[in-house]
Amino acid sequence: MDAWISTLDHSLKTLAGVAPMSRPTPQGQFADAPLDEQQRREAAALMRVNHVGEICAQALYRAQALTTKDEALRQHLEHAAQEELDHLAWTAQRLRELNDRPSLLNPLWYGGAFAIGTVAGLVGDKVSLGFVVETERQVEAHLNNHLSRLPAGDHSSRAIVAQMRDEEVQHAEDARARGAVDLPAPVKGLMRMAAKVMTTAAHRI
């Protein structure tokens, strides 16, 4: 019961946008160049998508930590969730700096990701870790795509995305080292379809 109460409290704080950061926001090597309105809107849309991804990461990791019976794995998942919490705070801060807002559908994204994480966790730890590997692999590709699309002069956003990408890669490697199984191709395909729906909607809403 305590674990469920703690998870509920964390969920409400995540959706309310009060996630604290434990590390400072990554800084670009150069000062940002002025962005015109089209560039600002594109940078903000991409960072909104990244913010949604971190909302989903919190839901997935917290659900998986809640359902595992392996205490060492639970601590590992909670540690990864804390790193993702920094990502959430960084992207939220950057959205404010770009004078824009998070996705209006964040409760929907969180609920869906929490359900997926719960199912994966109940199936078994190796499958749960397999979801981590595949999720992070897709996120890595998605962040690389964003680095190619962000305005060249938006060094602040680019520094955040690059740091996030490097840590997502590490999360996938850690999950593999803990015995993650490779998910079936149809499951990977469904995950890609769901991610496409989410990123397309979050880009605008």
Burial degree of 191 (CB within 10 A; 0-12, 13-18, 19+): middle
Question: Is residue 22 one of the residues assigned to a domain?
Answer: no
pLDDT in tens, 105-161: 888 888 888 888 888 888 888 988 998 898 889 889 999 999 999 999 999 999 999
Residue 100 pLDDT: 94
Q: Determine the Cα–Cα distance for residues 88 and 82; give it in Å rounded to an integer.
A: 10
Question: Is residue 162 one of the residues assigned to a domain?
Answer: yes
| Over residues 9-34, mean pLDDT | 74
Question: Is residue 11 one of the residues assigned to a domain?
Answer: no
Q: Which residues lie below 8 Å from residue 139, measured CB to CB, with a gap of 6+?
A: 53, 57, 165, 168
| Over residues 64-77, mean pLDDT | 87
- DSSP H helices, the chain, are 2-16, 37-67, 71-97, 106-123, 125-149, 155-177, 185-202
What CATH number does residue 155 fall under? 1.20.1260.10
The domain in which residue 125 lies consists of: 33-202
Question: Is residue 7 one of the residues assigned to a domain?
Answer: no
Question: Is residue 68 one of the residues assigned to a domain?
Answer: yes
Question: Is residue 23 one of the residues assigned to a domain?
Answer: no
Residue 16 pLDDT: 61
Question: Is residue 179 one of the residues assigned to a domain?
Answer: yes
pLDDT in tens, 95-104: 999 999 988 8
- Domains held by the chain: number: 1
Question: Is residue 14 one of the residues assigned to a domain?
Answer: no
Q: Determine the Cα–Cα distance for residues 177 and 69; give it in Å rounded to an integer.
A: 18
